[in-house]
Homo-oligomer: A and B are copies of this chain.
Amino acid sequence: MKKKRPTLQTIADQVGATKMTVSRCLRDPETVSEGLRERILSVAEQVGYIPNRAPDLLSRATSHSIGVLVPSLTNQVFADVIVGIEKRTEPAGYHLMLSHYGYSPAVEERSLASVLSYNVDGVILSDHHHTPRTLRMLETAGIPVVEIMDTHHKPLQQAVGYDNVAAAFDMVSEMIRHGRQQIIYLAVRLDERTLQREQGYRQAMEQHGLTPVTLHSSQRSSYSVGAALLEQILNDYPHTDGIFCTNDDVAVGAYFECQRRGINVPGQMAIAGFHGHDVGQAMTPKLASVITPRQAIGEAAAQALLARIQGEAVADHTVDLGYRIETGATL
Contacts and interface: CB of A to CB of B under 8 A. Distances in A.
A103 interface: no
8 contacts: A2-B142, A48-B136, A49-B140, A50-B141, A53-B117, A73-B82, A86-B100, A223-B283
A58 interface: yes
Given A5-B141, A53-B118, 12 more contacts: A5-B140, A47-B140, A50-B117, A53-B117, A53-B119, A54-B54, A74-B80, A95-B97, A95-B99, A118-B118, A227-B282, A256-B284
Interchain residue pairs A-B with the least CB separation, the first 9: A223-B282, A48-B140, A54-B58, A54-B57, A74-B79, A53-B117, A51-B117, A48-B136, A98-B98
Interface string A125-137: 0000000000011
A55 B54 CA distance: 8
A76 interface: yes
Contacts of A117: 50-53
Nearest to A58: B54
A74 B278 CA distance: 12
B65 A118 contact: yes
Interface in A271-308: 278-279, 282-284
A52 B259 CA distance: 55
A128 B118 CA distance: 30
B52 A278 contact: no
A86 B256 CA distance: 32
A63 B249 CA distance: 38
Nearest to A252: B279
B259 A113 contact: no
